[in-house]
Amino acid sequence: MKIRRIGIIAIIIFGAIPVYSPVAQESKKSGDITWHKYDEGLKLASKGDKLLLIDFYTDWCGYCKKMDKMTYTDPAVAEYIRKHFIAVKVNAESRVPFTLPSGTIDGRGLARSFGVTGYPSTWFLQSNGAKINNMPGYAPPERFIHILRYIGDGHYKSQTFKDYYARISDGN
């Protein structure tokens, strides 16, 4: 009788604790954007010849949550990201390993390797993983869409964002 009762209690206790698995962390849907793990995103980008957008965040960051709630759920932002980018989310405090050809790295190490010091921090990469540029901090959707187009349409290759924005603001 005691063994049975202990077994039932164990099922209740352990059944209530979420099981941690890196596989469960692979892809998440947020609004209309599918977010991938870093290693998965690199593979998808190279196969599909898409750029990468990496959102470095922490669980305690208020502006990270605002970016998720306000910016990434904006229909124009979400549609542009779906068409031009592979979206990747990296918890900059996570110890979950990513498997890369060069070895493994966790979220903390990856954030350090990108020089991330504040959150949110958005990095843009070419499909081969080469860094393009970053955008530190929160951006409302009406500003972020211009940054996405600047990177996604390749304007970063020939002009500064300041020049690009002045040109589109003038209506040219």
Q: What is the pLDDT of residues 120-143, one digit of tens each?
A: 999 999 999 999 999 999 999 999
Per-chain mean pLDDT for the chain: 85
Q: What is the pLDDT of residue 132?
A: 97
Q: Structure pTM?
A: 0.80
Provide φ and ψ at 118, rounded to 5°.
Answer: -145, 165
Local confidence band at 172 (pLDDT 50, 70, 90 cut-offs): low
Cα–Cα distance, 17 to 25 (Å, whole number):
16
Contact predicate 56/124, CB 8 Å: no
Contact predicate 58/121, CB 8 Å: no
Contact predicate 69/143, CB 8 Å: no
Both tokens assigned to 85: 């980018």
Task: Average the pLDDT over 111-121 and give the result.
Answer: 97
Going along the chain from its start, the domains and CATH numbers come out as 23-169 (3.40.30.10)
Candidates 88, 83, 77, 98; CA nearest to 22 is 98
> CA dihedral defined by 157, 53, 104, 63, rounded to 10 degrees?
130
